[in-house]
């Protein structure tokens, strides 16, 4: 490190900050570990030393006339020193493609010590960690070219500014990374103020770096994208950062939005991918992937974070995946239970602590008995907390006119204990016309599909198919067959026997439970959802994350592509307007789908000959016979035009069974149990924030006044270093 001493401080067992400190004579880099009291004493000493060094070493300032009476400055002409070129002795800037710089630099800093004592240099020293390696070393080299500019010797020593084009390229490529951690673009990287154009004789500090990168990229296969994915676990804050940075990086095909909050106030942050993010497009199917419903089943959460980054980077390279993004609206909710995840992660951390091991559950996280963090903060199992519509179906299935689709939520449900997370997801799936879905779990290696609740009350394991049994089996087969080992009957399982099942099973035949999310999706909306059990280990080691990604990547992509099968179309009236809420039925399948806002619909179905009927209240029915080949690359197009007809009177049985279903479907939370969540509709972006402590203020009307916005998590890097507070890094 030359003449720079590196002090690494440990506070209460956690790395808090890196402090570059300048010594008057060369020292070797050293690591100093101390307790809190020693740290404060040492920091005071070094701060005092830094102040004295500035007083001793900085050039004396010139005063206005009459200002020299204080004795603090001198206007004598002998104090003026000509600027000269000197060696770069800045540890984080020693790899620039030049070796000599000049002071004062472009920012007006008078000496190397003033540079090292400033927040600009501190930012460059920690930027790699703050951005998780993204845009490194581009940002650091660009910043160093401002703090230690190249020195031009002739005709007289002078700084050479870096090229404005290099700055603009870095800002365009890396601006999203700063947005992802809620940090403003650094003022000293203002491309207009501190950089110059080519005609002014500028210097490109990144030219050697780009030359090296071109050599590396030339050795890559053209079919492989350059993807930077860190296969490590992510805390909730890191998860939010990854999602927001990914959306900012690929803002042309992606955005993040909040569907609600957890019990402890954490954002349920989703990310979407499509060619026109932010709204539904006619005839474009919508699909969702949900992870971490059980907080201790974490592999799905990580896989979905990797998938989001992969989709962002891969689409320009591979036409098939670019087509997938352009023709599909993909929604990813990496964590449905962030509160439970924090408990589970803390338990694993304690299990690795030698001091905690005597008190730790020795079963470990590879066994299903390990359940810390499974439930939410209210101790509710989210996959048992949805309305039990399956029981309603079983009670009324023999009634001729009873609808087996879009069953309304019974009013009695709202008098029970409902999780905040459940409420948010229900609003989400009611507001978006999802076609298919997958919920990622852990504890076994199998795909299960509805119904999850047995059709016989006293049978724990009983085959209980839906009317769409064949479509569900095809969905499950798509994932299992594309997985590296799930469909192999010789694969070692986790206790349950799936011999001859090929890695898929009807949920109730495996084990029965009411109030599941998959059953609710099917009976309340058009969406077909499967449950993906990813493996025996609910919280695998980090070494297993990359192999698991390889096992599941193709399965996830194939599952998303499978939404483009069956049929799709638009139901219109004679004037060409789409009919919202029209029913599209398939003869032999007692489950209808309904049209979206503009009259478009999607119907997942297998190959063969089918009779499709479209109907709507006040319109005539229209039926069509269609044939679906066995191997279709995209959904067949079947449109309908309905004629208006007088509404016919109906019998009392219709009002008894059908009206109760149709007219009460829109009754959601009729008693306003979750009125506070109604402030922000699903799909509207909200920034993640941690919950406030009682009495700390918040939103007006919620028990406090507006408070100053909380400082971002990285603010401590600068305040604890004793440098001047870099308020220029705060957004807004």
Active site residues: 533
What count of other Cβ atoms lies within 10 Å of the Cβ of residue 237? Answer: 14
DSSP state of 693: P
C-alpha to C-alpha distance for 566 and 250, rounded to whole angstroms: 30
Q: What is each CA distance from 253 to 225, 229, 246, 329, 376, in whole angstroms?
A: 17, 19, 10, 10, 32
- CA nearest neighbour of 721 among 117, 283, 250: 117
If residue 6 lies in a helix (H) or strand (E), which one and from where to where?
Answer: strand 4-11
C-alpha to C-alpha distance for 434 and 475, rounded to whole angstroms: 15
| Bridge partners, residue 730, by sequence | 183
Phi, psi of 482 (to 5 degrees): -90, -10
3-state secondary structure 10-47: EECCEEEEEEEEECCCCCCCCCCCCCHHHHHHHHHHHH
C-alpha to C-alpha distance for 176 and 474, rounded to whole angstroms: 39
- With vertex at residue 569, the alpha carbon angle to CA 564 and CA 573, rounded to the nearest 5 degrees, is 165
Provide the total of helices (H) and of strands (E) in the chain, helices listed first.
18, 22
Q: Which residue in the block uniquely carries the two structure tokens 């307007």?
A: 577
DSSP state of 576: S
C-alpha to C-alpha distance for 339 and 294, rounded to whole angstroms: 10
Taking the CA atoms of the chain, what radius of gyration do you get in angstroms? 31
Phi, psi of 564 (to 5 degrees): -95, 55
* DSSP for 378-439, written as a single string: TS--GGG-S--HHHHHHHHTTSTT--SSSPPPPGGGGGS---HHHHHHHHHHHHS-EEEEEE
DSSP state of 341: H
User: How far apart, in Å, do the first and last CA atoms of the chain sit?
Assistant: 36
C-alpha to C-alpha distance for 158 and 388, rounded to whole angstroms: 76
Q: Based on the number of CB atoms within 10 Å of its own CB, is 383 exposed (0-12), middle (13-18) or buried (19 or more)?
A: buried
Q: Is the peptide bond before 104 cis (omega within 30 degrees of 0)?
A: yes
C-alpha to C-alpha distance for 128 and 141, rounded to whole angstroms: 12
| Cβ–Cβ under 8 Å, residues 147 and 20 | no
Q: Which residue in the block uniquely carries the two structure tokens 């060369």?
A: 26
């Amino acid at each position: 490190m030359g003449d720079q001493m590196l002090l690494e401080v440990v506070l209460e067992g956690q790395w808090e900050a890196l402090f570059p400190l300048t010594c008057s004579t060369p020292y070797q880099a050293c690591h100093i570990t101390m307790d809190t009291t020693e740290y404060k004493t040492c920091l005071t000493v070094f701060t005092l030393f830094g102040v004295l060094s500035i007083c001793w070493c900085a050039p004396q300032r010139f005063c206005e006339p009459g200002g020299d009476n204080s004795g603090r400055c001198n206007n004598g002409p002998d104090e003026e020193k000509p600027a000269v070129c000197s060696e770069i002795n800045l540890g984080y800037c020693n790899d620039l493609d030049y070796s000599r710089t000049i002071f004062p630099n472009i920012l007006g800093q008078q000496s190397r010590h003033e540079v090292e004592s400033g927040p600009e240099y501190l930012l460059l020293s920690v930027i790699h960690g703050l951005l998780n390696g993204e845009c490194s070393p581009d940002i650091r080299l660009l910043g160093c070219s401002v703090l230690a500019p190249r020195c031009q010797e002739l005709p007289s020593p002078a700084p050479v500014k870096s090229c404005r084009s290099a700055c603009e390229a870095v800002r365009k490529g890396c601006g999203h990374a700063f947005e992802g951690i809620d940090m403003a673009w650094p003022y000293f990287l203002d491309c207009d103020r501190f950089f110059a154009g080519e005609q002014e004789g500028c210097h490109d500090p990144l030219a050697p770096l780009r030359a090296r990168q071109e050599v590396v990229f030339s050795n890559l296969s053209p079919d492989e994208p350059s993807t930077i994915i860190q296969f490590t676990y992510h805390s909730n804050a890191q998860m939010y950062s990854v999602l927001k940075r990914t959306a900012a990086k690929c803002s042309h095909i992606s955005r993040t939005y909040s569907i609600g909050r957890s019990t402890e106030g954490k954002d349920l942050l989703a990310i979407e991918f499509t060619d026109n993010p932010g709204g539904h497009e006619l005839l474009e199917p919508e699909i969702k992937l949900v992870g971490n419903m059980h907080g201790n089943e974490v592999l799905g959460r990580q896989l979905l974070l990797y998938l989001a980054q992969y989709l962002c980077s891969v689409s320009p390279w591979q036409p098939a995946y670019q087509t997938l993004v352009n023709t599909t609206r993909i929604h990813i909710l990496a964590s449905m239970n962030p509160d439970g995840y924090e408990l589970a992660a803390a338990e694993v951390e304690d299990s690795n602590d030698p001091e905690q091991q005597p008190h730790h559950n020795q079963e470990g996280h590879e066994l299903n008995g390990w359940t810390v963090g499974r439930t939410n903060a209210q101790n509710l199992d989210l996959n048992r907390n949805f309305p039990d519509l399956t029981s309603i179906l079983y009670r009324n299935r023999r009634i001729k006119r009873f609808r087996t689709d879009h069953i309304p939520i019974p009013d009695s449900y709202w008098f029970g204990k409902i999780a905040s997370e459940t409420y948010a997801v229900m609003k989400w799936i009611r507001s978006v016309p999802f076609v298919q879905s997958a919920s990622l779990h852990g504890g076994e290696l199998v795909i299960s599909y509805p119904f999850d609740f047995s059709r016989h009350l006293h049978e724990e394991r009983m085959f209980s198919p839906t009317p769409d049994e064949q479509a569900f089996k095809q969905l499950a087969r798509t994932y299992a067959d594309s997985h590296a080992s799930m469909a192999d009957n010789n694969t070692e399982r986790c206790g349950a026997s799936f011999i001859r099942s090929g890695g898929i099973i009807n949920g109730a035949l495996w084990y029965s439970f009411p109030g599941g999310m998959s059953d609710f999706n099917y009976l309340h909306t058009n969406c077909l959802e499967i449950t993906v059990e990813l493996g025996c280990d609910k919280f695998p080691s980090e070494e297993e994350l990359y192999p698991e990604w390889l096992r599941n990547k193709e399965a996830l992509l194939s599952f998303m592509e499978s939404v483009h099968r069956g049929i799709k179309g638009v139901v219109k009236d004679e004037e060409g307007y789409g009919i919202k809420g029209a029913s599209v039925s398939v003869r032999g399948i007692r489950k209808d789908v309904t049209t979206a806002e503009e009259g478009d619909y999607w119907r997942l179905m297998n190959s063969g000959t089918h009779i499709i009927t479209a109907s709507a209240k006040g319109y005539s029915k229209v039926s069509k016979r269609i044939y679906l080949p066995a191997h279709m690359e995209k959904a067949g197009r079947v449109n309908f035009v309905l004629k208006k007809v007088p509404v016919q009177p109906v019998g009392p049985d219709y009002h008894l069974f059908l009206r109760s279903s149709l007219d009460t479907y829109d009754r959601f939370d009729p008693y306003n149990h979750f009125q506070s969540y109604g402030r922000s509709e699903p799909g509207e972006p909200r920034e993640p924030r941690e919950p406030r402590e009682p009495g700390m203020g918040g939103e007006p009307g919620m028990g406090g006044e507006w408070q100053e916005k909380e400082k971002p998590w990285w603010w401590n890097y600068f305040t604890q270093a004793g440098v001047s507070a870099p308020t220029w890094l705060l957004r807004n």
